[in-house]
Structure 1
Amino acid sequence: MKIGILGGTFNPIHYGHLILGEQVLGQLGLDKVIFVPAFIPPHKAGKSIIAPEHRLGMIRLAVGDNRYFFVSDIEIKRKGKSYTVDTLREIKKEYLRSELFFICGSDLVNEIPTWKNVEEIHKLARFVLAKRPGFGKRLAGRDFLKINVAQVDISSSLIRYLVKKDMSIRYLTPDKVVAYIRKYRLYR
């Protein structure tokens, strides 16, 4: 089985995340993509992030109608800082005979060498880098799978800003996520 792992803060999840997962799934012929929200992302420690239960709930709503998308709460259950290597170890135990693909944007290419136990990460999973504007020339070297995905100029920070300003976020994230944000008055 070929499994994509899409980790992130997902604060909140949006169509950019979903399009990335869908296009990697199709281009690499994956059997499934698992969305893994971080409990505390090491690179965002100390920043204002809503409760992990809310982020997990929004992801479940966003991916619920896609039979190839799944959600894992392993980083949330583990608590503490969410290191990719720890997550991949746990997933590999569950899917011993599967090939893992860790999906991320090419904007992270310069950060990857600083990650905890990066050499072990490369042994546990193949890195899939979604090419983004301005980052294509910096992808030489390592054993990265590079793919082109549709460029969608949506970010979680934009959504949070618009919500705070009481502006529409329709068409930036699924309607169920919009309703969830309103119901729980998130990002105000």
Structure 2
Amino acid sequence: MPDLRVGVLGGTFDPIHHGHLAAASEVRAALDLDRVLLVPTAAQPFKDAHGHAPVEHRLAMCRRAVAEDPYLEVSTVDIDRGGTTYTVDTLADLQSQQPEARLFFIAGADALARLSEWRDADRLLELATFVAVTRPGHVMTDSSGAFAVVEAPALDVSSTDVRRRVGEGRPIRYLVPHAVADYIEEHDLYSGGRDD
């Protein structure tokens, strides 16, 4: 049986937006992946919880966002483990769940520039191939060749901006999938206007 090629895109997804989905789709096509797993974090070491939606809402928004895409799935591996999310734990758990899979960890080029700060950084490259997605205004300068680099469509949207816009009563309809915009409105998320 041939190895599965599985992308892994982790994040707070607070909320998930078209930039996340475009990056996942672009990497899947560019690297001929069988599927991409979106992995919402339980908690992240570089962010505090103030102004963020609870994990159950972030998970529900992810599920709604990928419901009609056969190549994108949501994994609860980090939520099931609980606690602070470290990429090394995510990849080790996914590898044990799917030993036949070759994992491709997808992150923004700006985030991968800080890879040496991540927990067990040396072990990470043993667990997965790292894929640097170029973002607007950032150039990947990896002369080592340790990463695959994929140019994604220039969708300059961030979860921080989406939360801010909701708090200010501004539209988000074309920044996030319709189902996510509806969910945010139904559950009155981010309307306090506070930001992290």
Q: TM tier, shorter chain?
A: over 0.9
Please identify, of 44-53 and 167-176, the stretch whose mean Cα deviation from structure 2 is larger.
44-53
Q: Which amino acid aligns with 1:29?
A: D
How many residues get paired?
188
Q: Which amino acid aligns with 2:132?
A: L
Match of 2:25 among 22, 25, 31: 22
How many Å apart are 1:167 and its aligned residue?
A: 1.2
Please identify, of 54-63 and 127-136, the stretch whose mean Cα deviation from structure 2 is larger.
127-136
**Whole-angstrom distance in 2 between the partners of 1:170 and 1:26:** 26
Whether the 8 Å contact between 1:106 and 1:139 is mirrored in structure 2 is: no
Give the aligned partner of residue 167 of structure 1: 170
Q: 1:99 and 2:109 equivalent?
A: no
- More helix by proportion, 1 or 2? 1
**What is the Cα-based RMSD across aligned positions, in Å?**
1.2
What stretches of structure 2 of length at least 5 have no aligned partner?
Answer: 192-196
1:70-102 CA-partner distances (Å, limit 9, x unpaired): 101111121110000001011001111211000
Give the aligned partner of residue 7 of structure 1: 10
How many Å apart are 1:139 and its aligned residue?
A: 2.2
Whether the 8 Å contact between 1:109 and 1:139 is mirrored in structure 2 is: no
**What SS does structure 1 have at the residue aligned with 2:88?**
helix
**Whole-angstrom distance in 2 between the partners of 1:132 and 1:107:** 8
**Percent same amino acid among aligned pairs?**
38
What stretches of structure 1 of length at least 5 have no aligned partner?
Answer: none
**What SS does structure 2 have at the residue aligned with 1:138?**
coil
Provide the TM-score with structure 1 as the length reference.
0.96
1:121-157 CA-partner distances (Å, limit 9, x unpaired): 1100000001124432522225100111111011111
**Whole-angstrom distance in 2 between the partners of 1:155 and 1:46:** 17
**Whole-angstrom distance in 1 between the partners of 2:8 and 2:154:** 20
Give the aligned partner of residue 64 of structure 2: 61
**Whole-angstrom distance in 1 between the partners of 2:8 and 2:139:** 22
Give the aligned partner of residue 31 of structure 1: 34
**Whole-angstrom distance in 1 between the partners of 2:35 and 2:184:** 27
Q: 1:81 and 2:70 equivalent?
A: no
Provide the TM-score with structure 2 as the length reference.
0.92
Whether the 8 Å contact between 2:51 and 2:190 is mirrored in structure 1 is: no
**Whole-angstrom distance in 2 between the partners of 1:137 and 1:171:** 28
Q: Which amino acid aligns with 1:66?
A: D
Give the aligned partner of residue 123 of structure 1: 126
**What SS does structure 1 have at the residue aligned with 2:119?**
coil
